[in-house]
Chain A
């Protein structure tokens, strides 16, 4: 950073532009990956739909988990 004061204004402006562009590219890549991941999850919607019902097994499993944890303490 100490070298910054030796750089010309033109060079600094160029560095800012390059950094901005890299930042935009990185943001776009993150957004692309997030959207891809969301689409992948939506492709599994049939499976999620099956699990979207209340089941006693969920409650039983949760209670068992709490009991296991309480025994460990």
Chain B
């Protein structure tokens, strides 16, 4: 639409923006309440038997598959990690939740891979676009290959997350327990909904509260993403302009910042697809932005975890585990020269194969996000 056809007055624009920001604030409030509802609902429904309920996921591979497939189906890692935070607050053991968080990272990369399919009609463009999308997949897969065995053997992420959460839930007067305005602000809604759920009976009420919480999280995150896309596109443009040609650290920082602003790693990584597809940006140029997206996406769960009731410290611990996992992933994989460009090389190779045989692209998506996880789950359940 041209400027002439758009008679909107700047003052009107400002008012519209204020309304949109107010809506974002309201939706963040809804998101935090929804995470609290899931925690409350799970506690009511499970009645202290949360561990037994999730016994099927005590196998780390099962947890990984649950996280991957759930995120691939819902198309939002923020939604899945926020749900996990709520479940941990309701009693789900952190050790069971860790592989789920790792799986959420893998599952979220399906979005940009599907976005890249839009370039299928131009061979070279598709090759570049598909490589740009799958570099995120390979990075996340490599991250799991490195950290899942370490977590199973030593529980390093769990320990680091615990240490970080203790900083906020320490015994001192300045701990989060002493003054948590967000928790106080969400208490009326979460408390009322829990009372209502209890009145319906523990099983039914608790389950209903979980379902309502999941729906609210999904709605809140989807709408926040849409609003922030409109509000932040100019800022994202400025950040990326600034980052051009300034090296990988600047790229990672920009990817993180853009993702925090739009509250969606899928949006950031999907933005890289047309930039690489056109040939203007090389795969190595957009790779650091993609890594930054992994870090930026952790903010949602940390924010949600600050205000949950129940096992609040464990909820904050799992949110920090997500953050530590993604930061360490970038530090280790990008920091070690031998590992640094492994995802890039794999993505380039796959892009070449997929551009020559488009069925391979479809086979890859189905295999990585659905078939392989289910087969892996079957095998691990037999062991």
Contact residues of A with B, CB < 8 Å? Answer: 34-35, 37-43, 45-46, 48-49, 51-54, 58-59, 61-62, 65-66, 69
- Interface contacts (Cβ under 8 Å), in number, total 80
With A38-B275, A48-B275 already in contact, 8 other A-B pairs whose C-beta atoms are closer than 8 Å: A37-B280, A49-B267, A51-B118, A52-B115, A58-B114, A62-B117, A65-B121, A69-B358
A52, B271: Cβ atoms under 8 Å? yes
B241 in the interface, Cβ–Cβ < 8 Å? yes
Given contacts A37-B280, A58-B114, contact A48 B271 (CB under 8 A): yes
Chain B nearest CB from A28 CB (Å) reads: 13
Contact residues of B with A, CB < 8 Å? Answer: 75, 111, 114-115, 117-118, 120-121, 229, 233, 236-237, 240-241, 244-245, 266-267, 270-271, 273-275, 278, 280-281, 285, 358-359, 361-362
What A residues does B233 contact at CB under 8 A? 45-46, 49
What A residues does B237 contact at CB under 8 A? 42-43, 45-46
A35, B245: Cβ atoms under 8 Å? yes
In the complex the two chains form, what is the Cα distance from A67 to B229 in whole Å? Answer: 34
B244, A58: Cβ atoms under 8 Å? no
Output the nearest chain A residue to B112 by Cβ-Cβ distance.
A52
* Cβ contact of A45, chosen from B115, B121, B271, B358, cutoff 8 A: B271
In the complex the two chains form, what is the Cα distance from A59 to B110 in whole Å? Answer: 12
What B residues does A51 contact at CB under 8 A? 115, 118, 270, 274
In this complex, which of B75, B274, B285 has the most chain A Cβ atoms within 10 angstroms of its Cβ?
B274
Given contacts A35-B244, A45-B237, contact A54 B75 (CB under 8 A): yes
What B residues does A42 contact at CB under 8 A? 237, 240-241, 244, 275
* Cβ contact of A49, chosen from B111, B271, B285, cutoff 8 A: B271
A54, B280: Cβ atoms under 8 Å? no
B120, A41: Cβ atoms under 8 Å? no
B278, A66: Cβ atoms under 8 Å? no
In this complex, which of A40, A48, A66 has the most chain B Cβ atoms within 10 angstroms of its Cβ?
A48
